[in-house]
């Protein structure tokens, strides 16, 4: 099996590459190989490498900037992806695409995890662009796999954004600054190692359709910060705030916990708890080469 990974140098891509190698030849692709803003380089790259599976980790993921950079977000997350999906279908290449919990949010009173068959309702430009991308992948071919995940963090950081939530929290402690974190957004922070391992297993089993892939359990971002500091044996000046006080440009879902019952039915068990995943991350980051 030949597996191409677009966005191979990102925090999820870096964890996917060694795990997907167990299934066959891995072909890492960068923006220079396929830039979703430039449709003309998609066909030549697919023709050159002839992958059986293409895993798309590339995305425009600047949630706040998307509110003013609507065209760029839509071009990468929807229109460019539509062409990629169509061309993958033409050459009989299975497309595996990552989406987000931000396709939900309109139901302000939701308090139970979203299933794959629940109707999406984004509340931000970023969320809408990702939802349109999902639909483009789904309509291009039945041989697709769309994976919604949430709050990714991995030791390789998020290249375009620079770091991740865990690293941001630890950096702020090091700077001695008071830390304010929202306590009215509930989701499931997910470790890229676990998401990559589950994705590899789904591909190995020939899974198709839509799956939610996150660690188990849920928390607010404030509760996540508390656990980061507890496990790191740190006691910073940490204060819970509401989203309105934080003042982000884009709206975030108040509740976007994803049900992983479908995933567990295929893999035989759910992924480990977000607390255990965090402990594994903190251990891994100590061993990461500089």
- Strand locations in the chain, DSSP E? 2-6, 25-29, 53-56, 94-100, 144-149, 152-153, 179-182, 186-187, 190-191, 209-212, 219-220, 238-241
Contact between residue 102 and residue 129 where contact means Cβ atoms under 8 Å apart: no
In this predicted model, what pLDDT tens digit does every residue of 133-184 receive, in sequence order? 999 999 999 899 999 999 999 998 755 555 899 999 999 999 998 999 999 9
- Residue 153: active-site member: no
In this predicted model, what pLDDT tens digit does every residue of 183-197 receive, in sequence order? 999 999 999 999 999
Q: What is the mean pLDDT of the chain?
A: 95
Q: What mean pLDDT is predicted for residues 77-105?
A: 97
Contact between residue 189 and residue 165 where contact means Cβ atoms under 8 Å apart: yes
- Strand locations in 140-229, DSSP E? 144-149, 152-153, 179-182, 186-187, 190-191, 209-212, 219-220
What's the rounded Cα separation, in Å, for the pair 272 and 215? 6
User: Which CATH number is 2-156+189-215+257-273's, of 3.40.250.10, 3.90.650.10, 3.40.50.150, 3.40.50.720?
Assistant: 3.40.50.720
Reduced to 3 states (helix: H, G, I; strand: E, B; else coil), residue 187 is strand
Out of 16-25, 38-47, 186-195, 209-218, least confident range = 38-47
pLDDT for the residue 163: 80
Domain limits, the chain: 2-156+189-215+257-273
221-231 and 165-174 are packed helices; what angle lies between their axes, rounded to 10 degrees?
60
Residues 6 or more apart in contact with residue 92 via CB below 8 angstroms: 143
pLDDT for the residue 289: 60
* The two three-digit tokens of residue 16, written as one number: 């996917």
Reduced to 3 states (helix: H, G, I; strand: E, B; else coil), residue 158 is coil
* The two three-digit tokens of residue 267, written as one number: 């893999």
* The two three-digit tokens of residue 206, written as one number: 């020939």
| Set 60, 102, 114, 126: catalytic member | 126
């Amino acid at each position: 099996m030949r597996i191409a990974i677009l966005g191979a140098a990102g925090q999820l891509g870096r964890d996917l590459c060694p795990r997907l190698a167990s299934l066959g030849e891995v072909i890492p692709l960068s923006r220079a190989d396929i830039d979703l803003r430039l449709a003309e380089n998609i066909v030549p790259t697919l023709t050159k490498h002839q992958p059986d599976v293409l895993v798309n980790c590339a995305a425009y993921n600047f949630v706040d900037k998307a509110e003013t950079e609507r065209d760029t977000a839509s071009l990468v997350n929807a229109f460019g992806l539509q062409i990629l999906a169509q061309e993958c279908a033409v050459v009989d290449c299975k497309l595996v695409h990552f989406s987000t919990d931000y396709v939900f949010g309109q139901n302000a009173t939701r308090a139970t995890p979203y299933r794959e068959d629940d109707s999406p309702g984004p509340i931000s430009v970023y969320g809408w662009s990702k939802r349109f991308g999902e639909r483009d992948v789904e309509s291009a071919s039945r041989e697709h796999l769309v994976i919604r995940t949430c709050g990714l963090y991995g030791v390789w950081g998020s290249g375009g954004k620079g770091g991740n939530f865990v690293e941001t929290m630890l950096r702020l402690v090091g700077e001695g600054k008071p830390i304010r974190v929202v306590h009215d957004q509930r989701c499931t922070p997910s470790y890229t190692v676990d998401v990559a391992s589950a994705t590899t297993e789904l591909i190995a089993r020939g899974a198709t359709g839509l799956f939610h892939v996150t660690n188990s359990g849920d928390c607010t971002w404030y509760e996540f910060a508390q656990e980061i500091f507890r496990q790191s044996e740190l006691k910073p000046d940490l204060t819970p705030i509401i989203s309105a006080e934080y003042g982000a440009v884009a709206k975030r879902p108040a509740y976007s916990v994803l049900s992983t019952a479908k995933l567990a039915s295929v893999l035989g068990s759910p992924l480990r708890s977000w607390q255990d995943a965090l402990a594994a991350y903190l251990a891994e980051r100590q061993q990461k080469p500089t």
